[in-house]
Amino acid sequence: MRNGRPDSGVALWDKSHNGESMGPTSSSVSGHPIAVKCLLSGMLLLAALKLWLIGGVEIIGMEFDAQSYLVMAQHWYWDQLWMYVRPPIFPLYVAVVHEFGIPLRLANEAIYLAASASIALALLNLCYPRWAVLALFALLAFLPSSIAILSLATPEVITAPLTLLMTAEIVRTLTGDGRRLWVHATWLALISALLWYARPETILVFGGLAVAPMLTLGAGVFRIMPLRQVMPLSAALIGLPAAAIAILGLVIAIMNGRHFGRFFSGDDLHAPAFVRAYALLQAIDVGAAVRYVPVSHDQLTKAEAVSPAFREIAPFFRSERGEYYKKVSLQYAGVENEFAGGWWIFVFREAVAQAGYHSVAETDAFYTRLANEIEAARDTGQISLRWSPSSFVDPKYEVWFPHVAASFARVMTHLDPSRPPPLTVEPKLAPEITQIFNVMANRRAALADTGPRQNIQRLEIFLKPVRWLYNWTLAAVLSIGLILLIAGGWQNLSLPILGLLGVSFVMIAGRVAIFTLVDASSFPILESYRYLFPATAALPVLVMAVGALYFSKPWGA
């Protein structure tokens, strides 16, 4: 035993068995004042360069999703009803930025750069060298896809930074002791709660938060770490975030109950009555099935035959508005005379509203009645239902499962940092939609359309070599890192480093898995660049954590 660690040299934990801190010393974290100033100055210069490059870029106005988020922000989420279909954190973020008069594009960039700096500086807590910190910040700051994604008014512009911040605070909690541990655990709790209610993929937040406690408990089971340290650290890593998520959920549920009449922390599309009706409609067995179509024309016909409630909304599907959704489904999903999965949810909800059901109480009662009638028809033998484990996974597995491999390949190409979405010019929008973007995103008048061409050209000239070099750089760092890892870098592994690697991997692999499933079964992920942005941002973190491990100091040295 040396300094409370096994003599093997594998630093699997940062605490000695006598309770003394085994974390990095003050010199390893802060270092010589001149060196620290050089590191921080380098990061500030890189951040200034990024801000100069995106100076001519503005938020891009788009219909559907982006427009709906700005409408929610315009009404502070709870002062409206129709758009109660999304989690509240991003609309509230836009509303706050708008109130301060800050251009949304600059706010997005500032938060992303701050999160990038936080996760980069967290490497110092793991005894990584300063050049690795600066390199990681540069890789994140100039991530090619960040240019286009941060120009959108969609939740990914905050879920990616929140994911980086959550990872950084997990590292700091694992390497903290005493008061510092609980300070960072509190920050971790707050960030985790915001991330939980920013997008529906809460399973990813749970997966990311579970990695470090599982490693900690494993260290206790195998006696690498004393149990008296395992329990409080596990409580800090999972207990405080769980409490924060519950408290924020309670606040959201109270606000939803007060304004919408439903005491529920989820959005309208995840309410129990809606989920049940949706699941039963798509489970109606009609034999032949169509990929990307959760509820086909034949299923609609059967539902209309057995459910008086469904007959009330059936005319909408044959209306001019219904035909519009069919055209959109044909254009984007390639399905003819059907409603594709990406739009069926909104078709269904709009049909119910068109039938005269508007309040939450009215819609919940309608969905419950519809579901009861379909189940009654099944019980009397009028229809048969397929088994459906989840309302948002198409139970017709034989139709979509053979496409999983192709969907995985397509999603992985969109994860590729060197192939980001292009800097798009804003499409022609209705004047009232353009006005919403101009006002709520605080768009600068001179840049609201295409921006000064010289600024965008300057950015495009810079991005060309960056896009070409980016993957080569990541591949080189990872390859060299894996070789050096085998050559001896494994001796520098510690539980906090394993936590960093584990969280980053889970956030990447989990998001790829979810959107592979969506692309195979529900609708083509046309915008998977933005859906995958949090995973794309985690990729440089994972690569640098492996690539520079050999050059880090053994834990506690």
Tokens 């060299």, residue located: 480
Of 18-32, 36-50, 164-178, 483-497, the poorest mean pLDDT is in 18-32
- Measured between its terminal Cα atoms, the distance across the chain in Å is 14
Tokens matching residue 510: 């989990």
Q: Is the pLDDT of residue 108 over 90?
A: yes
Tokens matching residue 56: 């001519």
Q: Is the pLDDT of residue 158 over 90?
A: yes
Separation between Cα atoms, residue 52 and residue 459, nearest integer Å:
9
pLDDT of residue 333: 83
**Residue 23: pLDDT band by 50, 70, 90 thresholds?**
very low
Q: In the chain, where are the structural domains located?
A: 32-220+417-551, 285-385
Q: Is the pLDDT of residue 420 over 80?
A: no
Separation between Cα atoms, residue 122 and residue 127, nearest integer Å:
9
Element (H, E) at 537: helix 533-547
pLDDT of residue 15: 40
427-440 tens-digit pLDDT:
777 888 888 999 99
More confident residue, 175 or 556: 175
pLDDT of residue 425: 65
What percent of the chain is modeled with pLDDT above 90?
Answer: 44
pLDDT of residue 453: 44
What percent of the chain is modeled with pLDDT above 70?
Answer: 88
Read off the pLDDT of each residue in 517-527 and give the average, rounded to a whole number.
79
pLDDT of residue 79: 85
Of 183-197, 373-387, 418-432, the poorest mean pLDDT is in 418-432
Contacts of 424 (CB under 8 A, 6+ apart): 60, 148
Q: How far is CA 73 from CA 68, 77, 94, 443, 491, in A?
A: 9, 6, 6, 15, 50
Q: Name the DSSP class of 20.
A: -
pLDDT of residue 5: 34
Return the C-alpha torsion angle 305, 307, 312, 313, nearest 10.
-80
Q: How far is CA 121 from CA 137, 292, 551, in A?
A: 8, 44, 16
The alpha carbon of 491 is separated from its chain's Cα centroid by a whole number of angstroms, namely 33
Read off the pLDDT of each residue in 290-311 and give the average, rounded to a whole number.
91
Tokens 């609980």, residue located: 182
pLDDT of residue 16: 36
440-471 tens-digit pLDDT:
999 886 555 544 444 566 777 777 788 778 88
Q: Is the pLDDT of residue 381 over 80?
A: yes
314-361 tens-digit pLDDT:
999 999 998 999 998 888 888 888 898 878 888 998 999 999 998 889
More confident residue, 219 or 209: 209
**Residue 31: pLDDT band by 50, 70, 90 thresholds?**
low
Separation between Cα atoms, residue 199 and residue 201, nearest integer Å:
6
Q: Is the pLDDT of residue 27 over 50?
A: no
Q: Is the pLDDT of residue 109 over 80?
A: yes
Average predicted confidence (pLDDT) for the chain: 85
More confident residue, 75 or 424: 75
pLDDT of residue 421: 61
pLDDT of residue 446: 53
Q: Quick one: the chain helix, strand, coil %, rounded to 5?
A: 70, 0, 30
Read off the pLDDT of each residue in 111-131 and give the average, rounded to a whole number.
94
pLDDT of residue 531: 87
Q: How far is CA 497 from CA 13, 125, 306, 517, 555, in A?
A: 10, 10, 58, 30, 10
Q: Which residues, in sequence order, are bridge partners of residue 2? A: 5
Read off the pLDDT of each residue in 542-548 and give the average, rounded to a whole number.
93
Contacts of 245 (CB under 8 A, 6+ apart): 192, 193, 196
Contacts of 335 (CB under 8 A, 6+ apart): 290, 291, 292, 293, 329
pLDDT of residue 46: 96
Contacts of 241 (CB under 8 A, 6+ apart): 188, 189, 192, 193, 209
**Residue 389: pLDDT band by 50, 70, 90 thresholds?**
low
The alpha carbon of 64 is separated from its chain's Cα centroid by a whole number of angstroms, namely 19
Read off the pLDDT of each residue in 521-527 and give the average, rounded to a whole number.
75
Cβ(113)–Cβ(50) under 8 Å?
yes
Tokens 């959704």, residue located: 325
Highest mean pLDDT among 9-13, 128-132, 384-388, 407-411: 128-132
Q: Name the DSSP class of 445.
A: G
Separation between Cα atoms, residue 278 and residue 368, nearest integer Å:
11
Q: Is the pLDDT of residue 2 over 90?
A: no
pLDDT of residue 335: 86
**Residue 225: pLDDT band by 50, 70, 90 thresholds?**
confident
Q: Is the pLDDT of residue 417 over 90?
A: no
Q: Which amino acid type is present at position 119?
A: I
